[in-house]
Structure 1
Amino acid sequence: MTRPEHGPAPAGPQSSAPGTRRRRGEPRTYDFRRPTKLSREHVRVLQIAQEAFARQATTVLTSMLRAGARLELVGIEQHSYDDYLATLPDTFFMVTFTIEPLAGKGLLAYPLDIAMATVDHMLGGSGAAEQPERPLTVMETTITNHLLGRLLQEFTASFAHIVQLQPELDGLEYNPQLAQAAAGSDTVMVATFTMAVGSRSGEATLVLPFSSFAAALNNAASPQLSESAQAKRRHAAEALAERLNLVPVEVGVRFTPLEVSSEDLLSLAVGDVLLLRHPSDAPLEVTTNDVTFAYAIASNHRRRLAAAIVPTPYAAQKDTA
């Protein structure tokens, strides 16, 4: 089933290949078995953190590679882990890391040729040569781990306003099906970035488990207020309640509504009689905004027609029983 896309709100899993973007209004796949868990408030909090990470990562890449580099946030979405892996090519550079003290693991992934080019740059090369499509050697892994460690430091600083983390590198993987950062059905938050190193560009993703960050996101989206702020809110609520008690409300007293056909309604003329179905011993309905909230009988007060509130008929029947 599909639904049109409206803005950057979180969505269900999608099956588009990495690097492709949907046009505005283009339908996207939505799995009703996995309802959206990321609220707009969650996305807003995550966006601030991920944009900060992208800015700092850009600085780290540029200084360590001594080349033009850029990491720019594209969007944040919700996926199941299996559906996320299905969007990746058969060979990709994937880094798993712990997110202590939270449970689970995070995952940073970007094209293998960019990973090879970063090694080339750190060894003094231009990064422009054709890069091999193979796993990193031990020496290349050591060099890359130094860069990844710096990126994790920036990740920690960017997420400090959400939760204090102590991430550690866990391992490298090149086959998406072997990168077990989460169970296949687990909901993950996927931040997509445009990544450029020198003349190379591609799509990078930062994946985090939703269940591990849920409580921290809720707290960040609704931070604890100071005592003075809480007092102001209480005073505002009391003032609002006091004003609401003075708001005029239109109230009506009516017989039980009568249903007539449209033909009879259109043929009504002066002098016609409509037979009411209201029982003679039943009270009238007291309504506001077409909602019955009390019952009354016709009466008078100081020579004016009035309605005397009586017990609800259902309550009277219950008491009699």
Structure 2
Amino acid sequence: MAEILSQEEIDALLSTIGKEEESSQELPETLIEEKISIYDFKRPDKVSKEQIRALRNLHDKFARNFSSKLSGFLRTIIEIDVASVDQMTYGEFVLSLSQSVSFNVISLHPLEGSGIIAVEPDIGFVLIDRLLGGFGATFQNIRPFTDIEQSILLDIVNLMLGDLKNIWTPIAEIRFEVIAQETSPNVVQIVAPSEVVVLIVFEVKMGDYKGIINFCLPVITLEPILTKIGTHDMLSISRKEHTNRVVDILQILDNVLIRLETYLGEFKIDIESFLNLKPNDIYILQKSTNEPAEVYCNGVKKFEAKLGKIKTKKAIKITKLIG
């Protein structure tokens, strides 16, 4: 005969079953949340995170070089930093720009396609004012750039393209050239709005003013060289470039002229005798000919030497390197 459970035992069993159901319902939810990763099929990531990192490192170097060149060009201190490197659709890039931007379409020969350098007006007018001899100020009411102002900004864009060509040379020999200038981003469409582009955003600071210069490259244009863009490849290229640069610098230094001066000694003279100095006057130096003479290289003491002569010419013989 089956054992009859008491009411207390029945209640204990029911409470245990309720707890097991709660734990079994909570566990799958936790596991599902951990496995979920968001993916937007409208915006597939065509450029890997490693390639994005490599592009950032590449343009960080460009920003340092170009800030120095632009500072010398404008004769004032310019700071340029890479604000971000992202991939997005071309339509989103155009929507992110202001309506009064300096929109420069650039060719990327031998790659098929074009890129964009967009100078925002908040920094564009500051650069124009500086180029025209001002202190570098902007207008309170931003307006579209005139054709003359676009031509003035073209000098800075071309300067920027020269440095970009040097930075990209280890990856590919790209000839950057401005082929069109517009004041509205809606006038020119280099790729379809749904195409993915890489956007490098530079923040430019000059005095109290700062603004943005955008550098946009369509991924479809970069595809032939995309495999060459990677952190490991960039590191090996950087080491090779550094070695080549050292060799180039040493070759240039071989032909540099420097001034060598030998300090023979000194003597004291009063003002009256100094004023009465005349040719063939002889004064004795407070230094023996056996003591080493100090040799200066461009004003810096570098050697010790012995005094002497070769045939009819005075000479020194280097005996010791200092420092």
| TM-score interval for Structure 1 and Structure 2 normalised by the shorter chain | 0.5 to 0.7
Task: Report whether the alignment pairs 1:190 with 2:203.
Answer: no
Q: Distance in 2 between matches of 1:82 and 1:134?
A: 23
Structure 1 position 92, deviation (Å): 1.8
Structure 1 position 30, deviation (Å): 6.2
CA shift digits 1:220-278 (9 cap, x unpaired):
4375xx9xxxxxxxxxxxxxxxxxxxxxxxxxxxxxxxxxxxxxxxxxxxxxxxxxxxx
Contact 1:94 1:174 in 2 (8 A): yes
Instruction: Kindly indicate which of the two structures has a greater share of residues assigned to helix.
Output: 2
Contact 1:161 1:220 in 2 (8 A): no
Report SS of the residue matched to 1:118.
helix
Q: Distance in 1 between matches of 2:188 and 2:120?
A: 15
Q: Distance in 2 between matches of 1:84 and 1:106?
A: 12
Q: Distance in 2 between matches of 1:64 and 1:30?
A: 45
Task: Report whether the alignment pairs 1:219 with 2:219.
Answer: no
Which residue is 1:308 aligned to?
none
Which residue is 1:145 aligned to?
154
Alignment of 1:73-222 (within 5 A): 73-130=82-139, 133-221=142-230
Q: Distance in 1 between matches of 2:85 and 2:122?
A: 24
Alignment of 1:1-321 (within 5 A): 31-130=40-139, 133-221=142-230
Structure 2: gaps of 5 or more residues: 1-37, 237-323
CA shift digits 1:123-158 (9 cap, x unpaired):
110122526634444443333222211110001111
Structure 1 position 182, deviation (Å): 2.2
Cα-Cα RMSD: 2.4
Q: Distance in 1 between matches of 2:212 and 2:149?
A: 22
Give the counterpart letter for 2:52 in structure 1.
Answer: V
Give the direction of change, closer, same or farther, for the CA distance of 1:31–1:83 in structure 2 (3 Å limit).
farther
Which residue is 1:12 aligned to?
none
Which residue is 1:245 aligned to?
none
Contact 1:114 1:200 in 2 (8 A): yes
Equivalenced residue count is: 197
Contact 2:45 2:87 in 1 (8 A): yes
Structure 1: gaps of 5 or more residues: 1-28, 227-321
CA shift digits 1:57-95 (9 cap, x unpaired):
212221112222121012211111001111222322221
Report SS of the residue matched to 2:149.
helix
Identity, % of aligned pairs? 28
Contact 1:113 1:131 in 2 (8 A): no
Q: Distance in 2 between matches of 1:57 and 1:180?
A: 28
Report SS of the residue matched to 1:180.
coil
Give the direction of change, closer, same or farther, for the CA distance of 1:107–1:129 in structure 2 (3 Å limit).
closer
Q: Distance in 2 between matches of 1:177 and 1:160?
A: 31
Structure 1 position 111, deviation (Å): 1.6
Normalized against structure 2, the TM-score is what?
0.56
Give the direction of change, closer, same or farther, for the CA distance of 1:157–1:121 in structure 2 (3 Å limit).
same
Report SS of the residue matched to 1:99.
strand
Structure of larger gyration radius: 2
Which residue is 1:254 aligned to?
none
